Structure 1
Amino acid sequence: MGAQAQSGSTPRDYLAWERRQETRHEYIRGEIFEMTGASREHNLICGNLFAMFHGQLRGRPCEVYVNDMRVKVTETGIYVYPDIVALCEPPRFEDNKVDTLLNPGLIVEVLSQSTESDDRGAKFAHYRNLPSLAHYLLVSQTECRVEHFTRQSGNRWLLTEYQAPDDSIPLTDMDCSLRLADIYERLSLSAQPTPGEVAEGTTDQPR
């Protein structure tokens, strides 16, 4: 999320206006925020992730999008642009423009200094209202570290951290996995020792 562009807009007004813009904007609680540019590290990580998903999901009824697929959380009314979105079921869109996805199965956010607090807190609180969402990944761009939240029964979320280059993140329901060394290809980052299950949270975690 970047600088605030407008406030007091309705969702309908935002969507009509946004579709005429050359740059991307998110809509949260009646306010419109312009999306800012990304770093080299951010772009490399997103490119690596897209390549990994594309290679493993190719030929199957799955889709993966990078940066430009708008997602609506119907229950809370926000419109956002996650860094990576993937799903392995027929996509559902808000209307026949097919530019606003309603049922992501996986969302990845690459953390930055300006977005990390929101990605961990308020935005994840919105994402948890997506019934289709099974995986939420937070990827550091300053160290070798990925946090993987998986939906559990009772709408609880289990957090597992991965910090070693040889670690692989299993996405069993999508029949694919993500190796950290491949996520961070062409980046020189510090590595941490071993992964482990860190915490099991309720719908109020993390804050």
Structure 2
Amino acid sequence: MPATSLDLDPAYRRISVEEFLEMDFGGARAELEDGLIYMMAGGSEQHARIAGNIFACLRGALRGSGCRPYGSDLAAQTDDRTVRLPDVSVYCNNPAAPENARKKLIGEPQVVFEVLSTSTFTYNQKVKLAEYCALAGTREVILVDPAEERIHVVQRTPAGGWTADWLGPDEDVTIASLNLTIPRSKIFARD
């Protein structure tokens, strides 16, 4: 592979996942992509509300199940040198065990939710969706479009392939791997 200008500039040295996870961004949010740090802008009220609604629905529904939802503070490693911060992710097999308390990575999420924005709409549907689908432990990736109040559900099939469907305006989100359904009205609720 030919060297890029970033590869030749020491100011843009690619770093490891371990180095990235040890960095303190002083409250700012960042993702690591192929060893390069990308700072993330804050989200809108709409984005935060929808992510919060999803988290709240999952938290109550999953209590006592061995699965737990997390917000965007918990990272997911999607490649050797790539770390993402999904808006909401669900981990199973007792993720809140004491040995995981200080970890910033606890394996692969079973379910990932990304709330789309104008600036991330295409990128999340192409790049991040492919990364999440490549994780062996991920069963569903759900993309939520606040502008159009649409939901795109991508689910792993028993044969290992994937199905992808935009839900209709009256359809709730069924998450087969968790055996639960989230009412659409609760995802987009404004109260």
**TM-score (ref. length: structure 1):** 0.78
The equivalent of 1:196 in structure 2 is none
The equivalent of 1:203 in structure 2 is none
The equivalent of 2:3 in structure 1 is none
Q: Distance in 2 between matches of 1:92 and 1:179?
A: 26
Q: Which has the higher strand share?
A: 1
Q: Distance in 2 between matches of 1:124 and 1:157?
A: 11
Given the alignment of the two structures, is residue 156 of structure 1 paired with residue 161 of structure 2, yes or no? yes
In structure 1, stretches of 5+ residues that fail to align are 1-5, 188-207
C-alpha RMSD of matched pairs (Å): 2.2
Q: Distance in 2 between matches of 1:92 and 1:130?
A: 21
The equivalent of 2:59 in structure 1 is 54
1:7 corresponds, among 3, 12, 22, to 12
CA contact (8 A) 1:67 1:82 kept: yes
Q: Distance in 1 between matches of 2:186 and 2:49?
A: 11
1:36 corresponds, among 37, 41, 64, to 41
Given the alignment of the two structures, is residue 88 of structure 1 paired with residue 86 of structure 2, yes or no? no
The equivalent of 2:189 in structure 1 is 185
CA contact (8 A) 1:169 1:177 kept: yes
CA contact (8 A) 1:86 1:105 kept: yes
Give the 5 Å matches for 1:159-178: 159-164=164-169, 166-178=170-182
Q: Distance in 2 between matches of 1:126 and 1:77?
A: 12
The equivalent of 2:152 in structure 1 is 147
Give secondary structure in 1 for the equivalent of 2:112.
Answer: strand
CA-CA distance at 1:175 after TM superposition? 2.0
In structure 2, stretches of 5+ residues that fail to align are 1-10
CA-CA distance at 1:97 after TM superposition? 3.4
Q: Percent identity?
A: 25
Q: Which has the higher helix share?
A: 2
Q: Distance in 2 between matches of 1:101 and 1:21?
A: 22
CA-CA distance at 1:181 after TM superposition? 1.0
Give secondary structure in 2 for the equivalent of 1:143.
Answer: coil
**Letter matched to residue 179 of structure 1:** P
Q: Distance in 1 between matches of 2:162 and 2:52?
A: 27
**TM-score (ref. length: structure 2):** 0.84
Give secondary structure in 1 for the equivalent of 2:76.
Answer: strand
Q: Distance in 1 between matches of 2:133 and 2:96?
A: 18
CA contact (8 A) 2:133 2:141 kept: no
CA contact (8 A) 1:138 1:146 kept: yes
Give secondary structure in 2 for the equivalent of 1:101.
Answer: coil
Deviations 1:25-61 (A, max 9, x none): 1000121011210111101101111111011111221
